[in-house]
Structure 1
Amino acid sequence: MEQRNKLQSERLDFLLDALKEDSIQYKNLQVGNSETEKRNAVRSLMNVRMPRSISDDFLEVQDIFLQEEAKEKGIVTLAEIPTVKDAYESQRSFADRMSIWQGDITRLQVGAIVNAANSQMIGCFVPCHRCIDNAIHSAAGVQLRNECNHIMNQRRIRFGRQYEEPTGTATLTSAYNLPCKYVIHTVGPIVYGRLTEALKEDLRNCYRNVLQCCMEHEINSVAFCCISTGEFHFPNDIAAQIAVETTEQFFAQNENCGIERVIFNVFKDIDLELYKKYVCMENLYS
């Protein structure tokens, strides 16, 4: 353990020096000597870094470092997550194919995790921001932003320079240093004032299109974050109902879709209680 910590510390120093050297603006950034300060600085420099190439040496060290970080956080396998049928004795249709799990989505070793992206779709640039977009990009590594940028550049060539990703679509990328295999990025609706039926339909489209993406790419397990409920201000209770209802409808319409498990990943206690409520209701449509 001591040797492992020493190696991680050396990798952290390497990454910090390399990211400072890579940056014009932060080349002379002063960072404290504590591991926490160095980790925050590395994450911040990754967060603000524009998509572009970087040395193979950096990527090699970054990948080892992030994979070790993932192990330290604790990787959670699908087998460790009970279905809502087993956990809550839910009698709902497809209760044996749905789960609720509370915790850090970047720990999940599943087919895909869902990222609540913004319309630029290249990650959050606010240093150490607590949004899911920032967490996923930080744990995946700089390659994820580069892949997202490549996809967006291709779409700008096709649709015009001002192109932004529409609400409700689903875009598949590799997961790089995350324990899952893929990340599916979706842009959720933003609620500025009154919640409208159009905004509800936008959120339904997020869930439908992610599930359709899983079916098309033979992804047999997917973990949804609570799309749009944080920075995008969608009411938590209605969002949870839409998530469960739309998933159930998708299974009913595509029973042989190949998706064995849909996990509703929650972080806040309020969301845990809301999802438990909806998966145990007798009739979502009443």
Structure 2
Amino acid sequence: MTQETLIKALLEERQLDLDLPQTFNERHLLYRALVNTRPPGNLSAELLSLEADYLKEVNRDQQVVALTDLEPYKITDNLYLWQGDITTLAVDAIVNAANSQMLGCFVPNHACIDNAIHTQAGMALRQHCQQLMAEQGHLEPTGTAKVTPGFHLPAKAIIHTVGPIIQEEVHPHQIQQLSSCYHSCLKAALDHGLDSIAFCCISTGEFRFPKELAAQIAIKTVRLFQAKHPQLTVIFDVFTDEDLAIYQKALNLV
């Protein structure tokens, strides 16, 4: 019932006259499309309350994964490799591969991680990001990082970073930019007192950074940082079997 009430409220504020789908999953896709395309702002207490109740219901059906559920990778006790949905990780911070507007993905039901994180965190995340960007007054530069609350995610915080976009070939400065993404996120975690951070495969999706090279850069940057800050636990989160094999191979070369 909460789901239907929430969707009706979202349709009403957009003045959309649509019939509700018959099944829960179909209605969830409509809900997701509505929040994906919803501009930030004008979040009433009633809408936020409805969303909070609904996301609690959705999250109850997901398997939340704690750090204690994972096994460290063999080379060290503070480095993990895990395959799964990053939005289910109950760690201090997860990393979002954002775009320079930092407002999330506006494409309905898009498969990118930016879309998934904003959907599961809730509409307040986009509003929070808009406030950060308004204060900043310009687009987010490539290679930097910003920290927001996790809102409805099991993670305490989200660290947003903008990776390099590859057009045809990788240039040396783009290698440095990707390394900077990882370093900036690690430093942000340390500066905010966050002890564990889970990385997605930054820039390897829509931004087309070669996956093997990206994994090598990620591992090298993280290991150098952890050598100075061994208290920080890092999880490399991969989603596909291909990415898992790439990281396993790259980690075995360390």
Q: TM-score, normalised by structure 2?
A: 0.97
Distance 1:210 1:116 in 2: 11
1:193 aligns with 2:184: no
SS in 1 for 2:77: helix
Summarize the alignment of residues 11-90 of structure 1 with structure 2, pairs less than 5 Å apart.
Answer: 11-24=2-15, 27-85=16-74, 90=75
1:37 Cα offset (Å): 1.7
Correspondent of 2:77 among 75, 96, 99: 96
The answer for unaligned runs of 5 or more in structure 2 is none
Distance 2:252 2:53 in 1: 42
Deviations 1:6-53, CA, capped at 9 Å, x for gaps: xxxx010011101001113xx212332221221111110000000012
Distance 1:123 1:44 in 2: 13
Distance 2:184 2:94 in 1: 14
1:274 Cα offset (Å): 1.1
Correspondent of 1:275 among 241, 247, 254: 247
1:68 Cα offset (Å): 2.4
- Counterpart of 1:153 in structure 2 is 134
SS in 1 for 2:96: strand
1:223 aligns with 2:198: yes
Distance 1:271 1:34 in 2: 33
Distance 2:228 2:66 in 1: 28
Identity among equivalent positions (%) equals 43
Distance 1:108 1:121 in 2: 22
- Confirm or deny: 8 A CA contact 1:105 1:113 kept in the other structure: yes
Deviations 1:84-117, CA, capped at 9 Å, x for gaps: 02xxxx3xxxx21110110110000000000000
1:64 Cα offset (Å): 2.0
SS in 2 for 1:241: helix
1:264 aligns with 2:225: no
Q: Report the residue type matching 1:54 in the other structure.
A: L
- Counterpart of 1:115 in structure 2 is 96
Q: TM-score, normalised by structure 1?
A: 0.87
The answer for unaligned runs of 5 or more in structure 1 is 1-9, 157-162
1:281 Cα offset (Å): 1.4
Correspondent of 1:183 among 151, 158, 165: 158
1:213 Cα offset (Å): 0.4
Q: Report the residue type matching 1:233 in the other structure.
A: R
**What's the C-alpha RMSD, in Å, of the aligned pairs?**
1.0
SS in 1 for 2:80: strand
SS in 2 for 1:218: coil
Distance 2:85 2:207 in 1: 19
Q: Report the residue type matching 2:130 in the other structure.
A: N
Structure 1 outlier segments of 4+, above 3 Å: none
